[in-house]
Chain A
Amino acid sequence: MCDSCGCGDSNVIPFEVHERILKGNDRVAEHNREHFKDHDVVAINLMGSPGAGKTAVLEATARALGSAADAVKVGVLAGDLATDNDAARIRAAGMIAESITTGSACHLDADMVHKGLHRLPWRTLDYLFIENVGNLVCPAVYDLGQAANVVALSVTEGEDKPLKYPTMFRKADLVPITKMDLVPHLPNIDVDRIEYNLSLVMPRPEVLRVSATTGLGIDAWIRWLKAQGRARGTACPTSAGAGLIA
C-alpha cells in the first residue's frame, strides 16, 4: 500500500533517489580532472557572450608567450555550434588548437571535452584552454573538469551584465574586462561600475582590465595564469620562460 502520497494504489511505491541530475556529466568531468592532474595540465574553462573577445584574449596570450612558447605550452579546445574559425585563428597565432563543433548544443559538456582531447596532444601542455560556446547561461551548469573558470566580459556589453546573469559570474574565478581600448568611444560606460556589479555577484571578485588590441593588462593576465599553475603545484614555467613572458 502506498502510504506516502495517499493515492491508495497498492502497486505504486515511492523510491528515494536524491542524486544530481548531472551525475553522469560530473563523473566524466572528474575523469577529465584526474587526467589533467596526472599530466600537470592546468585546464581553464573560458566562457563569455558571443563576441566577448574570448578568442582575441587567447590570440593575445599566444603573442605574449611568443618565443617563450617552448617553456610554457598552451593549447586550446574551441567550442562553437559550427565552423573551425576560432581554432584556425588560434593556430594562426601559434598555439595548437582543435574545434569542438556542438551542432545545436548551447554549451560544452564533459564528454564533448573528453572526445576533443583525443584529437589534441594535450598531455604535452602546461595550460589547456577550453573555449566554451559563447553563452552566459548554459555553460555555467556543466563541469568540464577544469581547474578554474574565466568569464570574459567586454565593455560593450553594458554595465549590468553581471546582475542579469549572476549564475555565470558567480562561478567565475576571474573576469577579464575586455576591449578596454574601446572605452573612449563609449561615453555611457563606466568601468568602475562594471567592477562594482561584479563584486556584488562574485564570491571572491577578481577582475582584470585588458585589451587584446593594445596589450593592456595582458601581462597581469599571464601572471594570473602562472599563479594558477603554482597554486596547483603544476605547470610552473621555467625561470627562463618566466623571464620572457613576465
Chain B
Amino acid sequence: MHEYSLVQAMFDQIGDVVRAQGAVSVRRVRVRIGQLAGVEPELFRTAYDVFRIKTFCAEAPLDIEPGPSDELTLEQLELEVP
C-alpha cells in the first residue's frame, strides 16, 4: 500500500505550490498515473480522500488521467487565490 506514501509526497508538493502562489485553497487536482507506474488509481484515490480531510485540498476533486508508460506526475492544480 505505497499509495498512501505517494499521496503524502503529493501533499508536500501541493503545499509548496500553495505557499509559493499564496493560494487560499485548492479547487481541483489532476494527476497522471501510467499503466506501468505500479500504482493502482483507485487506491490512490482512496488514500487521497483520507488525506485531504481538513487540508487545503478538502474541497478539491481528484482527476486521474491514464498514461501509456510509468508516468506518475502531478499535472495541474486549480488554485483559489485571494
The answer to whether the Cβ of A138 comes within 8 Å of any Cβ in the partner chain is yes
Q: Which residues of B contact A25 (CB under 8 A)?
A: 9
Interface size on A, residues (CB 8 A): 33
Asked whether, in the complex, the Cβ of A13 is within 8 Å of the Cβ of B81, the reply is: yes
Question: Counting CB contacts under 8 A, is B72 at the interface?
Answer: yes
Segment 103-131 of A: residues with Cβ below 8 Å from B: 105-107, 109
Check if A137 is an interface residue, CB within 8 A of chain B.
yes
Q: How many A-B residue pairs have CB under 8 A?
A: 91
Q: Does A240 contact B (CB under 8 A)?
A: no
CB distance from A42 to the nearest CB of B (A): 24
Q: How large is the interface on B (under 10, 10 to 19, 20 to 34, 35 or more residues)?
A: 20 to 34
- B contact set with A: CB distance below 8 Å: 1-2, 5-6, 9-10, 12-13, 17, 21, 24, 27-28, 31, 36-39, 70, 72-82
Question: 25 pairs across A/B with beta carbons < 8 Å?
Answer: A2-B78, A5-B78, A9-B27, A9-B80, A11-B80, A11-B81, A12-B27, A14-B76, A14-B77, A14-B79, A15-B76, A15-B77, A18-B73, A19-B73, A21-B10, A21-B13, A24-B12, A25-B9, A106-B1, A107-B5, A137-B2, A141-B37, A167-B36, A168-B38, A170-B36
